[in-house]
Structure 1
C-alpha cells in the first residue's frame, strides 16, 4: 500500500466497516427492505431468505471495510472489492424506480442516499487504476 492511499483507504474502510458492524443485529423487516431494493438491481437476491441476505450484506461490508483498512492487502485488491461494492450501489441507483429523474442521471430526493455512494465507485477505481511502482 502506498502512503498516499492511506487517507482514501482509511476513510472508505472505516465507513464501510462501521456500516457492516451496524448490520450485525439487523431486524428481519429491515433486512427485507434492503433486500427489496437490492432485488431491483439483482433479482436473484429476491429469492433469498431476508435473514440470509442481511447476514451476507453484513459480512460483505465488514470484509470490504477490513480489507481497505488492512495495510497488507494490496490497494488493487482492496480497490477491486470497493469497486464491486460501489458498482452494486450504482446499479441499485439506476434500476430502482424513482431514484433518478427520467432520462437523467440527476437524483430525485429519494435517490440522493444511493447517488451519494458514487464516491465508493470512484474511490475503488482510483485504487485500482493507479500505476504500479517499478
Structure 2
C-alpha cells in the first residue's frame, strides 16, 4: 500500500470511527433529530424507530471507519464502503431544503457543514479507481 492511499484511508477512517463511537448511547431525542435529516437522503430510514436509527448510525460509522483503518482490506472494498456512506450524506445534502443555493448544488451557509461530505465521496472514488503501480 502506498503512503498516499494510506493517508486517504487513515485520516477519514479515524474521523468517522470517532464520530461513531461518540454516537454510542445517543439519546433518543438526538437520534430522532438526526433521523429526520437522514430520511431526506435515504427515505427507508424512516421505518426505523429512533432507538434503532441511533444504533444503526453509530454502528454504521464505526464499521465504515474500521474498514478504512484496517489497511489489509483492499482499497476497492474500503472505497465502496465509504462511497455508500458518503453517497447517502451527499444525497441528504442535495435533497434537504435550505442546504443549497437556488442552483441546487452550491451550499448555503446552513449547507456548508454537510456539503463538505462531498470530499469523502471524492476519496471513495479515488480508492475505488486506485491501481497499483507496475
Tell me, yes or no, whether TM beats 0.5: yes
Tell me which residue corresponds to 1:97: 97
Tell me which residue corresponds to 2:32: 32
Deviation at 1:42, TM superposition (A): 1.8
Q: TM-score, normalised by structure 2?
A: 0.94
Output aligned runs, 1:1-134, within 5 Å: 1-133=1-133
Per-residue CA distance 1:77-118 (angstroms, 9 max, x = gap):
001111111111100000011100122411111101110111
- SS of 2:57's partner is helix
Output the aligned Cα RMSD.
1.2
Per-residue CA distance 1:32-68 (angstroms, 9 max, x = gap):
0110001112222112100101100111100110110
Give the number of equivalent residue pairs. 134
The whole-number CA distance in structure 2 between the counterparts of 1:2 and 1:60 is 27
